[in-house]
Amino acid sequence: MTISFRDRVAIVTGAGGGLGRAYALELARRGAKVVVNDLGGSRDGTGHSDAAARVVAEIQAAGGEAMADGGSVTDLAQMEAMVARAKEAWGGVHILINNAGILRDKSFAKMAMEDFRAVVDVHLVGSANATHAVWETMREQAWGRILMTASSTGLYGNFGQANYGAAKLGLAGFARTLALEGARYNIRVNTIAPTAATRMTEDIFPAELLERFQPEQVAPAALFLVSEEAPTNVILGAGAGVVQAAYVTLTRGAVLAEPTPEAVAAQYAEIADRTGEIVPRSGAEQAMTIMQRLQGQ
Ligand code: NAI
């Protein structure tokens, strides 16, 4: 089976470099018309450049179709204008990859709240802005694919990235509910946790691994998750050609002998025991498992 994006219009935010550029190039190579969004800032989100236009030139040189957009994901009106331009030129928007991001790393003890807010604003609120701008169009079309970009930091934590981790797990949570709300409109919403050597990770990647961890090695998982055959409501990890699935699991738990914190302490081993754990497909399923537990199942 060949995965084609012919006749699809895709928006990739933060596609002026790194992972977003790799996604945009591969989408275009497989036939998509691509909006390359990027304000072209530095790693901490300050400044501007023509990074998006350069990627558009690369796509066009390879025979593909693309347009540049210099809007900031933090500005809802700019995201709405970007979507309107794409629809005017190409008649719709089918795919949105929320990829734009910045870093303001510091241990939480030293982190100014301004740096917390800035990171949450770009990653989490920025993804919500771009998604809000395309959502109605995708519902009307009854076809949409949206990808959120989480991170191992969001899923599992990383020293010095409290702001980034909060935003990134927020994105995985955002995707969960959108996947449920979008299901009957054929809108599928997934999350990727990439690992790649880009300017974002250049200080931490050992030189000998740079070659293996090129952004192009993450693109296959990202493209699968926005394709016709994409699943919905999944979290995939991807890096260096290895693709993994991440789950938020729930244990069977324990029925407390009495409603006290002492009972929780006494029964903690049973509460945490992973035997028979499940992966609920919605929040409501957790409530159902509580009812089942009370009925002795
Ligand atoms: P990158 O810094 O090359 O790419 C991020 C892009 O987003 C930049 O081109 C930047 O100009 C753009 N951007 C920043 N603020 C923006 C705004 N307000 N509006 C529009 N564009 C904006 O870094 P990389 O690694 O390619 O990151 C892409 C995504 O992958 C990010 O969300 C990042 O958090 C995520 N990620 C990357 C990992 C890695 O190993 N490289 C690990 C986990 C997550």
Q: What is the mean pLDDT of residues 86-94?
A: 98
Residues in the chain: 297
Q: What is the mean pLDDT of residues 235-241?
A: 98
CA 77 centroid distance within chain? 21
How many CB atoms are located within 10 Å of the residue 44 CB? 13
Our answer on whether the CB atom of 70 is closer than 6 Å to any ligand 1 atom is no
21-36 pLDDT per residue, tens: 999 999 999 999 999 9
CATH number, span 249-297? 1.10.287
> Is the beta carbon of 100 within 6 A of some atom in ligand 1?
yes
What is the tens place of the pLDDT at every residue in 164-206? 999 999 999 999 999 999 999 999 999 999 999 999 888 888 8
Which residue in this structure is represented by tokens 């790693």? 43
**pLDDT confidence tier of residue 296, bands split at 50, 70 and 90:** confident
- The CA 181 to ligand 1 mean position distance, Å, reads 27
- Reported as a pLDDT band with limits 50, 70 and 90, residue 1 is confident
Annotated catalytic residue: which of 156, 164, 247, 268?
Answer: 164
Is there an atom of ligand 1 within 6 Å of 92 CB?
no
Domains 9-246 and 249-297 share a fold: no
Q: Is residue 126 in contact with ligand 1, taking CB distance under 6 Å?
A: yes
- CA–centroid distance, 103 to ligand 1, in Å, is 8
Rounded CA-CA distance 192/224 in Å is 11
Say what the pLDDT of residue 102 is. 97
Of all protein residues, the one whose alpha carbon is nearest to atom 19 of ligand 1 is: 72
Task: Tell me if residue 268 is catalytic.
Answer: no
Give domain 9-246's CATH architecture.
Answer: 3-Layer(aba) Sandwich (3.40)
pTM: predicted TM-score of the whole model, two decimal places: 0.98
Q: How far apart are the first and last CA of the chain?
A: 43
**DSSP readout, 23-83?**
HHHHHHHTT-EEEEE-----TTS-----HHHHHHHHHHHTT-EEEEE---TT-HHHHHHHH
* Domain boundaries of the chain, sorted by first residue: 9-246, 249-297
Distances in whole angstroms, Cα of residue 291 to Cα of each of 5, 272, 294, 295:
45, 19, 5, 6
Residue to substitute in 11, 12, 19 for testing ligand 1 pocket (most ligand atoms within 8 angstroms of CB): 19
Name the pLDDT band for 76 (thresholds 50, 70, 90).
very high
Decide: 76 and 82 in contact? Cβ < 8 Å. Answer: no
| Count of Cβ atoms closer than 10 Å to residue 150 Cβ | 26
